[in-house]
């Protein structure tokens, strides 16, 4: 009886590990693209791709260059968004506000250069 339960659980367990690996690799690629400036954090917040659905907002923000915990925390406190909130669970108001603030910061940096 136990061996039958194990044989049925193993494929599901393997599928879960494979899915977790796909998500991890996709997130790593997304973070690299954000750090390189190929895609903006505001774009990721606005369109919320599948690989970022369960990613925390602070993890996304800190993947940008020159963004540490303090800057991230300061921004999120001003918007009333918890640091550990998943991108996929943001309300429309929170998502819009965060995307607008990030776009405004990007525009200010672009003008400075």
Q: What is the pLDDT of residue 4?
A: 53
Beta-bridge mates of residue 56: 86
Which domain, by its residues, includes 31? Answer: 2-112
| Model confidence pLDDT, tens digit, residues 28-42 | 999 999 999 999 999
Q: What is the pLDDT of residue 98?
A: 96
Residue 69 token pair:
């915990």
Q: What is the pLDDT of residue 15?
A: 92
Dihedral, CA of residue 63, residue 45, residue 55 and residue 38, to nearest 10: -40
How many domains would you assign to the chain?
Answer: 1
Helix or strand or coil: residue 41?
helix
Q: What is the pLDDT of residue 106?
A: 79
| Residues of the chain falling short of pLDDT 70 | 1-10, 109-110, 112-113
CATH classification at residue 54: 1.10.8.50
Q: What is the pLDDT of residue 32?
A: 97
Distance CA 68, CA 75 (A): 11
């Amino acid at each position: 009886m136990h061996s039958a339960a194990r044989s049925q659980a193993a494929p599901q367990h393997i599928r879960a590990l494979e899915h977790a690996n796909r998500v991890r690799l996709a997130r790593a690629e997304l973070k690299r693209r954000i750090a390189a400036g190929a895609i903006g954090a505001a774009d990721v917040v606005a369109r919320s791709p599948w690989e970022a659905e369960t990613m925390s907002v602070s993890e996304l923000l800190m993947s940008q260059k020159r963004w540490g915990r303090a800057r991230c925390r300061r921004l999120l406190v001003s918007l009333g968004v918890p640091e550990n909130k998943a991108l996929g669970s943001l309300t429309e108001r929170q998502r819009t506000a965060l995307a607008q603030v990030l776009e405004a910061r990007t525009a200010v940096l672009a003008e400075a250069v």
